[in-house]
A and B are shown apart, each in its own frame.
Chain A
Amino acid sequence: MKAYAIVQAFAIASIVAWSAWYAARRLLPTVSRRAQAGVASWFERPGHAAWLRRLGHSMQPVQASSGGCGTSGCSTCGACAPAAAVEAQPLVFKPRTKS
């Protein structure tokens, strides 16, 4: 029974950790990417073991592949831009000419 308790604790910890990571990636993409980069950079510091530095290097977040649409809650609306698109379309206010 003790073995089951250990397996149970490990399974729950893994599922909850994955859920927290997934939710953060989906809902706070920029913050989670920064946090991941911070942890990865710490692992990569000179003086750390080689395997730890390799782990840090592999943990470095890749550039977001979509303009934010893929990370949004709607999943695939079909309106996403390809990788390097300048997606923001800021509003620019100009005085309206009276017709």
Chain B
Amino acid sequence: MNASVAALRIAIVGNPNSGKTALFNQLTGTRQKVANYAGVTIERKEGFYTAPSGQSVRVLDLPGAYSLASASPDEAITRDVCYGRYPGEAVPDLIVCVADATNLRLHLRFVLELKALGRPIVLALNMMDAAERRGIRIDTALLQRRLGMPVVETVAVRRGGIAALVEELDRELPSPAPASGEARDLHAEVRALLDAAVSAPRRTAAADDAIDRIVLHPVLGLAVLAVVMFLIFQAVFSWATPLQDAIDAAIAALGAGVGNLLPDGALRSLLVDGVFAGLGAVLVFLPQILILFLFILALEESGYLPRAAFLLDRMMLAAGLTGRSFIPLLSSFACAIPGIMATRSIQDPRDRTTTILVAPLMTCSARLPVYTLLIAAFIPARTVAGVFNLQGIVLFTLYVAGIVSALAVAWVAKRLDKDKSEHALLMELPSYRIPHPRDIAIGLWERAMIFLKRVGGIILALTVLLWFLSSFPAPPPGATEPAIDYSLAGRIGHLLQYVFTPLGFNWQICIALVPGLAAREVAVSSLATVYALSGNENGLPAIVAAQWSLATALALLVWYVYAPMCISTLATIRRETNSWRYVWITAGYLFGLAYLASLLTYQFARAFS
């Protein structure tokens, strides 16, 4: 392989959750997302590395596929690249097929399918460490002879675990097996291969079976799931406070320092009332977001999430969704955009559409600053039943409200659809793994960078624009009201108030709702800027606690459960459905639900308070 001048094109393929992306990351030094469930990669990814011989290698990481007779859009990418039919993508020089050594019964079938293509293939037997722990013995030399392709043992999640593969890829291209178009009994061939080259004491891991007896139990399993989710939201409030206070104090000191350096004027106002007040109000939520993702990343690595999908399948089916919707909906807890893109793993177009429509109802991390601001301001931090944090319970309830609403909307969509047929869930349950602290740390670092980039990018830009609109035009001579009342943003806020007064929203909230459509956290920075320009010196939680009624706070919380989604989400829906119709349907129903639910909440809360 070291003779050619042009970059060698390698495609990494294999069954879902066989460790393709972990191997891709090791080869190319990238940090693409990996997790312990099927369907993490839904788009091809490209990377480069230089082999020890100096050969430049271009590596394509492809979505997992069980077969080349694909049905879902993500599997179709893998199929088309392997056949050389993918637009703008030449057929790969070499296919690296990754197979889970602990589950060869399933994975070898796809290897045989690929072999029939008649292209050079190297088989990477991944997760060899797990196979050894389970007493699985594989005669690699015999398997290599029987398959007629190089077979290399790898542990893609361990540093140095793919040295043998790198060495193999630096040799001459293996000669391909002749292409075969005839129908074959692949299952029989797999059985013969396993009988000859593999010995395993049992088909599944004993520890997995023991844990699954509890977590997959119809009653106990649901109880475990509820407890896990509940504990996560308790931790979000209980652990974050000291860090939040430290960030808050640092930003306040920095803002005061900059304010003291500059003379009174518009520039000082921009920096103190706009940048420091606005961005500071959002930045303090970084610890809570990281704590939430600490749990999500640990669950992703552990292999528990597909079990949760399995448990919830019956409920999701009754609501008109499918168990396959679980992973896309779970991804939407980080952001609706990857969640909507992850629906490509759903084969049925109607199931996929419904999942796309309800994905924005999952509580994305951008809502967390709004929730925690209002909860901290209005819900006392007291203990319930001697153990539970009341604020954590309220946050948990808001997340549950989003999930229940998504199920309800899916149920209505199912009622409206003439096609009532249901699809059974067929999902691979991976082996449990103890989450690797380094991977979790990298995941948290990346989440922190994403958040900080948003704060320093779009949130900063919108906060500055809002400050500008809230400061100009200047008040006329002899004006008696605060300057912001005469500004463009103030006038827009007062105008919007006619629509939102029944919901209990004041004009300051109305102003914040508009930039909140671009990124929900901006609602918090906007409120901070608007109140700072109105002459309020206290922190935002103290201001809203003093100036808003409980009914208004509850109505705003409910508004953000349904909040008409951000513009980026709408753009993604347009791209994924290739239709404006679904964009309007999503925006319309979310706005309608948000308005109606907030209206009811405000009116009931006012009546009973």
Contacts and interface: CB of A to CB of B under 8 A. Distances in A.
A79 B341 contact: yes
Contacts, number: 135
A73 B338 CA distance: 11
B457 A72 contact: no
Contact of B460 (A19, A75, A92): A19
Interface string B320-360: 00000000000100111110011010001110110000000
B349 A91 contact: yes
Residue in A74, A76, A77 whose Cβ sees the most chain B Cβ within 10 Å: A74
Contacts of B334: 74, 77
Interface in A35-92: 68-69, 72-82, 84-92
Contact of A78 (B33, B568, B571): B33
Interface stretch (B39-47, B187-195, B598-606): B39-47
Given A8-B267, A79-B338, A88-B578, A73 B568 contact: yes
B338 A78 contact: yes
Contacts of A74: 334-338, 450, 568
A26 to B, nearest CB: 5
A96 B453 contact: no
Contacts of B566: 73
Nearest to B467: A16
A98 B457 contact: no
A8 B338 contact: no
A27 B518 contact: yes
Contacts of B458: 22-23, 26-27, 73
B73 interface: yes
B448 to A, nearest CB: 12
A85 B577 contact: no
Interface string A18-30: 1110110011000
B338 A19 contact: no
B73 A23 contact: no
A99 B87 CA distance: 34
Interface in B569-584: 569, 571-572, 575-579
B468 interface: yes
A82 B45 contact: yes
B353 A91 contact: yes
B260 interface: no
A43 B43 CA distance: 39
Contact of A22 (B33, B421, B461): B461
Contact of A15 (B33, B44, B464, B518): B464
B87 A86 contact: yes
A62 to B, nearest CB: 18
Given A73-B518, A74-B337, A87-B575, A16 B464 contact: yes
B contacts with A: majority SS: helix
A85 B446 CA distance: 24
Given A22-B461, A73-B519, A90 B267 contact: no
Given A19-B460, A79-B42, A4 B263 contact: yes
Residue in B32, B334, B335, B454 whose Cβ sees the most chain A Cβ within 10 Å: B335
Contacts of B519: 73
Interface residues of A, number: 42
A26 B515 CA distance: 13
Contacts of B337: 69, 72-74, 77, 79
B457 A26 contact: yes
Contacts of B350: 93, 96
Contact of B265 (A8, A86, A89): A8
A74 to B, nearest CB: 4
Contact of A85 (B44, B461, B518, B578): B44
A27 B570 CA distance: 11
A11 B274 CA distance: 14
B88 interface: yes
Contacts of A76: 446, 449-450, 453
B143 interface: no
B421 A96 contact: yes
B266 interface: yes
B149 interface: no
B421 A98 contact: yes
Contacts of B44: 81-82, 85
Interface in B439-472: 446, 449-450, 453-454, 457-458, 460-462, 464-465, 468
B449 to A, nearest CB: 8
A94 interface: yes
A78 B339 CA distance: 11
Contacts of A99: 421
B353 A20 contact: no
B349 A82 contact: no
A92 B350 CA distance: 9
B544 interface: no
B182 interface: no
Contact of B462 (A19, A78, A79): A19
Contacts of B338: 74, 77-79
Nearest to B60: A82
Given A20-B465, A87-B575, A94 B349 contact: yes
Contacts of B453: 75-76
Contacts of A91: 349, 352-353, 576-579
Contacts of B33: 77-79
Contacts of B73: 89
Contacts of A5: 265
Given A12-B266, A87-B575, 15 more contacts: A8-B267, A15-B270, A19-B462, A20-B465, A23-B462, A23-B465, A23-B518, A27-B518, A73-B568, A74-B336, A77-B335, A79-B33, A84-B88, A86-B88, A96-B419
Interface of B: 32-33, 42-46, 73, 87-88, 263, 265-267, 270, 331, 334-338, 341-342, 344, 348-350, 352-353, 366, 419, 421, 446, 449-450, 453-454, 457-458, 460-462, 464-465, 468, 518-519, 566-569, 571-572, 575-579
11 contacts: A18-B461, A22-B457, A68-B575, A72-B572, A73-B454, A75-B457, A77-B335, A84-B88, A87-B43, A90-B576, A91-B352
Pick the 4 closest A-B CB pairs, nearest first. A73-B568, A90-B578, A77-B338, A78-B33
Interface of A: 4-5, 8-9, 11-12, 15-16, 18-20, 22-23, 26-27, 68-69, 72-82, 84-94, 96, 98-99
